[in-house]
Amino acid sequence: MNEKTRAEALLVLVEEKQYHQLLRVLDDMNAVDIAESLEELPFEKALLIYRMLKKDVSVDVFSEWPSDMQERIISSATDQELSVIIEQLYVDDAVDMIEELPAHVVKRVLRTANPDTRRLINQFLHYPEDSAGSIMTAEIMHLHRDMTVEQAIAYIRSIGIGKETVYWCYVTDPTRVLEGIVTVKDLIFAEPEELVGEIMDREFISARTTDDREEVISRMTRYDLPAMPVVDKENRLVGIVTIDDAVDVMEEEATEDFEKMAAILPSERPYLKTGVWTHAKNRVGWLLLLMLSSLITVKILSIYEAAFAAVPLLAFSLTMISGTGGNAGAQSSTTVIRGMTLGEIGTKDWLRVLWKEVRISILVGSALALINFARLMIGHSDQMMACIAIALSVLASVFLAKTIGGMLPILAKVLRLDPAVMATPLITTIVDASTTLVYFTIASLLLGISIS
Amino acid sequence: MNEKTRAEALLVLVEEKQYHQLLRVLDDMNAVDIAESLEELPFEKALLIYRMLKKDVSVDVFSEWPSDMQERIISSATDQELSVIIEQLYVDDAVDMIEELPAHVVKRVLRTANPDTRRLINQFLHYPEDSAGSIMTAEIMHLHRDMTVEQAIAYIRSIGIGKETVYWCYVTDPTRVLEGIVTVKDLIFAEPEELVGEIMDREFISARTTDDREEVISRMTRYDLPAMPVVDKENRLVGIVTIDDAVDVMEEEATEDFEKMAAILPSERPYLKTGVWTHAKNRVGWLLLLMLSSLITVKILSIYEAAFAAVPLLAFSLTMISGTGGNAGAQSSTTVIRGMTLGEIGTKDWLRVLWKEVRISILVGSALALINFARLMIGHSDQMMACIAIALSVLASVFLAKTIGGMLPILAKVLRLDPAVMATPLITTIVDASTTLVYFTIASLLLGISIS
């Protein structure tokens, strides 16, 4: 059953006031599905159903919603209802929400939160965007070195419910400095009287709050870690990044890269839920920039007007040559950008990348040049020099495109820019201009045409 | 310390026969790092160090290696060593390895495996590629409904070590049909005398062995599940897919999509470790196809030769128009393909996508057309009709490109092709041909040029 039919079923039940049946249906539904169904309903009905949910379900539903829905719910909630929402939300979800809310709503939210929660939220709000601090969970299971395994398990039982990840326990000293990690697995397999300090793992990998979130996640996937502790400058434990946070971030980052590589400003919301104006705004800027930069190619064309007019074969082949160059360049830039994202290629590898692309481009370029030459000679054997010029230009543009395409993302990284921005469209524009120039230079030399 | 310097340090120790020190260094290293360092060493030295590793570390190191390194190790191993490797490997890792090995090596591997392992490996080898069965883990913690919580914990303690995911336990009946799920968290928080059958969750989400792995993973991320049970046609439990398998698959699929969208055949190995010939082979096919299909545009150009020669402004602007069209189309196709990968857009949404792209393209196209018209009129106010023709063509090509770019990936899905193949380069080629045609049609009509 998809969200639409689910939503319709809920709507019928609430309109016919069959509340018993409604509660039974809601009981069988997952919070994710409830959240999506309620989004489809008229707001008044959604609010009515939302208020009928159990407290723990309602908070899960709430944290699934996009910020505009959250804002409407908050505006309709009493101070007491709002306080329940805030206290039940995980701090990182509360922070995500607050970052999207308008200022006057934020004020009301922080006013209704209790002082401890407010302090924690404020602390989280100060972590830089895209840092480990900004994605971590504050709810952690703390243990002490001197606890016995039996005491530790009893302690977990006494306070554990509600902690996002109960399986990873962190052993800290009285100043909250992280000393070791114990998993629930370790506790289960240890003898009850053993000390936590004896069985804890002291060789753990941790991250700093200010570390880049992508780097933290690539370390987690590299070492197959389901959770990574995050410490501050003084090595005090402040949170953990869990693998499901990591999964969300990975999808988000991949989407952002796809968008950047297609010359679109990254957007936060799914395609179908984004308005036409926002789509247009996110797309028009780069298109305009690329359009204007293609005028460089137009300028080059106008300089070589004479060669153009004299040999029509040359003019017609330009599309094919610059198209092939653009595609060849996109192949190299995409491969290198993806390799950099996955941590397989670093800036120090630039010479290896260059040397590889040089050899690849000679192989690929020669093959394409030969095929082209053969194809051209079939119909135009009387213009052999033009055919040679075109074939050589194919080789030259594949060579240029692949070396430029391979190097620009690395150059971007060195200049502390995002390599993904150096992708397909920008490379195509640069390659267009350079292949046109190379093509006409080769043609003028071989055919003895002088520039007008 | 990166892999190179780590590898050099190991090499020095092994060459100077400082085995005590070597063992101490290996003890402090993570299996992932050992695997990468050994790959950098001469094979004889790597093998020597590999044989010095503890049994559990050596199997982790082995499963990290690419298949060519695994093959060399297997070829150098005695039957007894080989049997240890096979029995210690997780079945899914063993299967991944076997799929890459040459037939005679596979035979030897299966011969040295014990009958149970061999049966399991053969079963796994029959799951379709990219299915849930092909990525699942066979090691599962089975519990029975009638166990008490205390018995369950004792049972887990007695056999739990070595199971990849001990935190998720699966309650099955005597025929292995899955009845419910219990987490270790549930067990810890329950009273010792409660029955597993009373606390287990019967409302679980499961996958079939033949389900597409991408769909399984998108369900896991949608519902934030760290593990998903996989059942066969008779609902018998055969394995689980864990979130770290999912993470690997997600990265792999994203890389594949990036490659396809840049017109490259997907490759298995990292960029720097792939040979030049393989790179060239993976790239040349699509380039050739795209080059030949660009001849359609060349053909269209030659038909409109007359219009071309008469108004040079028209000829020069073609690059700008088809470039803008290509970029606009790439934006739409990339967004739609990504939305389909994330499950946000389905084939049933085609009309909504079309309507959105139509409106976006009119907004974006009009803006670009107006800017172009203004720009052209500054230098060419004497050729107003040509300027109008160019501006209109910009609008028309953005419109065409965005609607084609938005629809082709959906059409591909309907035809059961991979939407990613319909990406940037192919769209660019199609858009090139159609914009050229539209451009010259508009120009001939407005300027009254007849086709030669």
Q: Taking CA atoms, what residue in A is nearest to B3? A: A344
CB contact set of B3 (below 8 Å; sequence gap of 6+): B33, B36, B37, B39, B40
End-to-end CA distance of chain B: give it in Å, rounded.
69
Report residue A246 as tokens. Answer: 């990591």
Contact B167 A156 (CB under 8 A): no
Rounded distance between C-alpha atoms, residue B232 and residue B312, angstroms: 68
Answer with the residue of higher pLDDT: B171 or A120. Answer: B171
pLDDT at residue A162, rounded to an integer:
57
Roughly what angle, to the nearest 10 degrees, separates helices A276-303 and B350-380? 40
Mean pLDDT of chain B: 84
Helices (H), A114-223: 115-125, 132-135, 149-159, 184-189, 196-199, 213-222
In terms of DSSP bridges, do strands B141-143 and A227-231 run parallel, antiparallel, or are they unpaired?
unpaired
Interface contact flag, A368 B288, Cβ < 8 Å: yes
Is A271 close to B336, i.e. CB distance below 8 A? yes
In order of A63, A102, A116, A121, B266, the CA distances from A125 in angstroms are 17, 15, 14, 6, 41
More confident residue, B87 or A240: A240
The answer to whether B318 touches B297, Cβ cutoff 8 Å, is no
Q: Which residues of B244-254 are buried (b: 16+ CB within 10 A; e: fewer)?
A: bbbbebbbebb
Distance from CA of A197 to the nearest CA of B (A): 19
DSSP letters, B178-226, are: EEEEEEHHHHHHS-TTSBHHHHSBS----EETTSBHHHHHHHHHHTT-S
- Contact (CB<8Å) B160/A243: no
Residue B76 has pLDDT above 70, yes or no: yes
On average, the pLDDT of chain A sits at 84
In whole angstroms, give the CA distance from residue B43 to residue B17: 17
Residues B3/B36, Cβ–Cβ less than 8 Å: yes
Whole-number Cα distances in Å, A249 to A20, A130, A207, A211, A320: 39, 9, 16, 14, 40
How high is the pLDDT of residue A18?
A: 86
In a mutational test of the B interface, the residue from A158, A335, A357 whose CB has the highest number of chain B CBs within 10 Å is A335
Test A301 with B316 for CB contact under 8 angstroms: yes
Q: What percent of chain A has pLDDT over 90?
A: 16
Nearest to B294 among A184, A261, A319 (CB): A319
Distances in Å between the Cα of A210 and the Cα atoms of A140, B96, B408 are: 19, 37, 42
- Mind listing the pLDDT tens digit for each residue in B215-240? 888 888 888 888 899 998 888 888 88
- The pLDDT of B152-156, averaged and rounded, is 89
Phi and psi angles of residue A228, each rounded to the nearest 5 degrees, phi first: -130, 125
Q: How far is A104 from chain B (nearest CA, A)?
A: 32
ipTM over 0.85: no
What integer pLDDT is reported at residue B178 of this predicted model? Answer: 92
- Give the mean model confidence (pLDDT) for residues B32-46: 88
Given B262, B330, B345, which is nearest A271 (Cβ)?
A: B345
Fill in the amino acid letter for B132. Answer: A
Please tell me the predicted confidence (pLDDT) of residue A93.
Answer: 80
Single-letter amino acid code for the residue at B127: Y
Distance of alpha carbon A259 from the chain centroid: 10
Domains of chain A: 3-128 (1.25.60.10), 141-257 (3.10.580.10), 273-447 (1.10.357.20)
Integer Cα distance of B337 and B261 in angstroms: 9
Instruction: Kindly state the average pLDDT of the residues B151-173.
Output: 79
Two tokens at B147? 């166990």
- The pair of structure tokens assigned to B221 is 């991320």
The verdict on a CB contact (< 8 Å) between A345 and B308 is no
- Residue A403 has a pLDDT of 93
Q: Report the gap between the CA of B152 and the closest CA in chain A (Å).
A: 12
Q: Mean per-residue pLDDT for A172-192?
A: 88
Give the separation between CA A276 and CA B357, rounded to whole angstroms.
Answer: 8
Residue A297 · residue B319 · CB < 8 Å: yes
Phi, psi of B178 (to 5 degrees): -75, 125
Q: What is the DSSP string of A162-183?
A: T-S--SEEEEE-TT-BEEEEEE
The length of chain B is: 452
Taking the CA of residue A333 as centre, how many other CA atoms within 13 Å lie in the half-sphere pointing to its CB? 35
Task: Please report where in the chains the tokens 């079963």 appear, as a residue.
Answer: B123
Contacts of A138 (CB under 8 A, 6+ apart): A90, A91, A92, A120, A124, A238, A239
* Residue A31: predicted pLDDT: 86
3 state SS of B356: helix
Cβ density class B369-397: b for 16+ within 10 Å, e for less? bebbbebbeeeeeebeebbbbbbbbbbbb
Residue showing tokens 């160090």: B49
Contact B141, B135 (CB under 8 A): no
What one-letter code names the amino acid at B195? L
For A425, name the nearest residue in chain B, comparing CA atoms only.
Answer: B327
pLDDT band at residue A281, thresholds of 50, 70 and 90? confident
Q: What is the per-residue pLDDT for B3?
A: 57
* A376-410: pLDDT as tens digits: 888 888 888 889 999 999 999 999 999 998 998 89
Predicted confidence (pLDDT) at residue A420 exceeds the cutoff of 80: no
Whether residue A5 is predicted with pLDDT greater than 70 in this model: the reply is yes
Distances (CA, A) of A399 to A327, B263, B363: 12, 17, 38
Task: Work out the burial of residue A394: count CB atoms within 10 Å of its CB; fewer than 13 is exposed, 13-18 middle, 19 or more buried.
Answer: buried
A283 and B221 within 8 Å at the Cβ level: the answer is no
Contact A272, B349 (CB under 8 A): yes
Tell me: the pLDDT tens digits for A77-120? 888 888 888 878 877 788 878 777 777 777 788 778 777 787 77
Backbone dihedral region for residue A249 (phi beyond 0: left; psi -120 to 50: alpha; all else: beta): alpha
Cα(B421)–Cα(B429) distance, integer angstroms: 13
pLDDT at B278 over 90: no
Q: What φ, ψ does residue A142 adopt, rounded to 5°?
A: -95, 135
**Which residue type does B192 have?**
P
B301 contacts on A by Cβ (under 8 Å):
315-316, 319
Q: What is the token pair recorded at B192?
A: 């010792």
Nearest by CB to residue B153, choosing from A188, A259, A291, is A188
DSSP code for A272: G
* A360 dihedral zone (left: phi>0; alpha: psi -120 to 50; beta): alpha
pLDDT score recorded for residue A88: 80
Set of chain B residues whose Cβ sits within 8 Å of the Cβ of A224: 32, 244
Q: Are strands A227-231 and A207-208 parallel, antiparallel or unpaired?
A: parallel
Query: Please, which residues have CB within 8 angstroms of residue A46's CB and are 6 or more apart in sequence?
Result: A38, A39
Handedness of CA A123, A125, A131, A133 (dihedral sign): positive
pTM: 0.72
SS3 category, B362: helix
Biggest alpha carbon distance in chain A? 95
Which phi and psi (to 5°) does residue A429 adopt? -65, -45
Which amino acid does the sequence have at A203? Answer: E
Residue A386 near residue A311 (C-beta atoms within 8 A): yes
Whole-number pLDDT of residue B358: 94
- Is residue B410 packed enough to be buried (19+ CB in 10 Å), middle (13-18) or exposed (0-12)? buried
